[in-house]
Amino acid sequence: MNGSVEACLNIWFIVDQDSKLIYRAAARAYALPGSDDDKALTLKRLAMSDYHLANHFSLSKYKTKIVDQQGQQRELPGLFNNASFEAVLPIILDTICKDLEKQFVEQPRVTSEGGSTYKLKIPKEPYYVMTYLSEDSMGRLIPRL
């Protein structure tokens, strides 16, 4: 945290409406002031539209076992049901935080003692709002908090 703002996140997981499988992630960082309630209110409001501007993350390195229509068990990259997703969420969150933090720019700071710079950091346990985006057969994304 720097001064009165904290790096907070909106994270979206895109879910196929028919299969109910999660297949992609998106995230965006914000520098927000205020209490946790204030941050939650802001993040939830922004979650309804800011996914259009978010960075997208591939989940293809993760594999999920499914049973296909012929009854054959297969491993598919980047697809998760809710049960298997919970197990990898901390790893995905860490990857997202590291990637987003790399994009933060150094900010100049001038004090009576001279000039310096600082760079906002995402806390080890970041404040975030997670939203599911349900993708329908027409490719439309519908937010579900």
Backbone CA torsion sign across 23, 28, 29, 30: negative
The predicted pLDDT at position 3 comes to 58
Given a cut of 80, whether residue 76 has pLDDT beyond it is no
Number of domains in the chain: 1
Mean per-residue pLDDT, 119-141: 94
Structure tokens at 63: 């594999």
Q: How far is CA 7 from CA 22, 69, 78, 125, in A?
A: 26, 44, 27, 11
Mean per-residue pLDDT, 92-103: 96
Give first-to-last CA distance, the chain, whole Å.
Answer: 26
The predicted pLDDT at position 121 comes to 96
Structure confidence by residue, pLDDT tens digits, 6-49: 999 999 999 988 888 888 999 999 999 999 999 999 999 999 99
The domain of 132 spans 5-144
Mean per-residue pLDDT, 80-93: 84
